[in-house]
Structure 1
Amino acid sequence: MKKVFALAIALLISFSFLAKTVDEIVVKVNDSIITKDEYEKRLSRTIDAFKREYKGPDFDEKLKEIPEKLLNQMVEELLLIEKAKQMYQVDMIVKMQVENFMKENGIKDEAELDKALKAEGLSLEEFKKQVLLIYVPEFMKSREIRSKISLSEQEIIDFYNKNKEKLQGKPQVHLEEILFTKDKYNEETVKQAYSDILLSIAKGATFSEMAKQYSGAYSRQNGGDAGWYLPDDLSPEISDVVFKMKPGQVSELVETKQGYYIFKLVEKKEPKVPTMDEARAFVIEMIKEQKFAESYKQYIDQLKKQNYVRLNPKYV
């Protein structure tokens, strides 16, 4: 419970707009503001998250987009909260979310929650305000946009026919492996072991038997059976080799950070275009997401016209 609680608190704090100290205002939506300190803290956390997901040129390109996208996102969140206050009992939405949070974390009442929050440096009131900032925008998206999306059977058929070539999956390979770890083998000894294995296989031994004898991988106990993989599941140096192989073929030595690998391609599944029935659920989800994006933009554009929104020119 403590681990779940700590993770949830960390998430809530990461969205915090609460420290209304004297600070430069970056965004103002009616009477709600986002300060420089709040914006920069969230910007820093967002950049850190992107660093974990993207590398090299991809990250550099994404980095250019982050400040503007984050600023727009924060404006949209405040606009959705403003609209929610006009349409719903926002306090009840927050109350239900707090109760759900308490139930999930085994907290019996608000007094116990308050005590736990204080240990994390938060008051109950601050916690409720942060719940408001996280959950109310999502509530509005669900209630006012997603729930009103509809689609016809003809739309599903048309989307499938137009995009079915793009819907085909990726190839998959079933591999057996032998790993020579670098703490036990060097470049010279691994080449000798590789030659010995090929000679044994030529004389009738199976790759599985060789894996049990030589491999330092966990799959050794399964005779080297490593299972099925998609291209993205494997490191580039391995993927580039195994997806060019034919069933039954044994690879050359492949050097990686873990050591030297030999692979046997057991089976390969080529990608195929799914039938309408196979693709139906995915197609429906794709259409709904497209419609949501269009409707959400229209909804936000309308809210911007109905509310006072000011962005500090320094941050635009």
Structure 2
Amino acid sequence: MLTFADTDFSQLNSTLEKLKPSKIFILVDENTHEYCLPTLLGNMETTVPYEILEIEPGEEMKTLNTAAQLWEVLAEFEADRNAVLINLGGGVITDLGGFIASTYKRGIRFINIPTTLLGMCDASIGGKTGIDHGFIKNIIGTFAEPELTLIFPDFLRTLPFEQLRSGFAEMLKHGLIADKQHWEHLITLPELKAEQLYPYIRRSCEIKLDVVKADFHEKNIRKTLNFGHTIGHAVESLFLETGKPILHGEAVALGMICETRLSLLQGLISEEDGEAIIRNICKFFPQISLENISHEQLLTLMKSDKKNSHGQTNFSLVTAPGTCSYNVSVKEDNICNALHYYQNLS
């Protein structure tokens, strides 16, 4: 269930009352511990004992090692199958926390309270959990639905601009794959501020929910949500491996530019639409240097993408603002052409 908590946390409290947990565990990172946990605890009305589980922030923490440590902590605190895990944080926390909950004792219940724009519009919705392994994004994970996803937009006021912009990339993607009007509203925003984005968060959430409801296990149309992610995840993984990680939304913006170029090369989109999409993404996201990254490295990582089958590299590609095709097989020459195009953008 997805709920917007504009003023209070009554839905959280009623959910906890209904679940009757034996114990509550709250997963945070150092940032959400400082900026968001006081708000949660000040609004959480329960007599159930709780424990705070804190990790360092960043994609680097989304690993098997972190998962093992958290499983051990849950076991040490004698968490049983009636325990509830509340994930208070951005995409890393909801991805990791959902994975921890869905695998500990074959599954305990969990609640997502996203604190970033990326978490609110994308990562916390849809029942995907996951961790990285060998610097490959989300290669290990489960499908598991939270008992509740609670959106509290005021948490966005705690975000630095770069994190806000990172989540905005996923909002742009939602418009491009499913709602032309949403895309057009977003690209006309005069600046990226939390208050400017509030009116459009709900629509992004609705788009993702509609796609997920139609195809929960990603057999067909849910693959469109991966637009920008085949190349984007490969770039993100390589930067993570070098110890200089970039934000997920920055990688997705890069991926959407490259994959729109791919759509042009494949003859799936008009030149006018393709160039307009690229121009508008570039308006919000500065170019990322790929100077020290080879096409061969990226192609190798793309072959590990979960959408691939039978040795084919498959993409989800926009065909016009608001529409998207999936399972599009693309030749390596065109992928290299798209990467070269991005590297030479002015």
TM superposition score normalised by structure 1: 0.25
More helix per residue: 1
Q: Which has the higher contact order (CA 8 A, sep 6+)?
A: 1
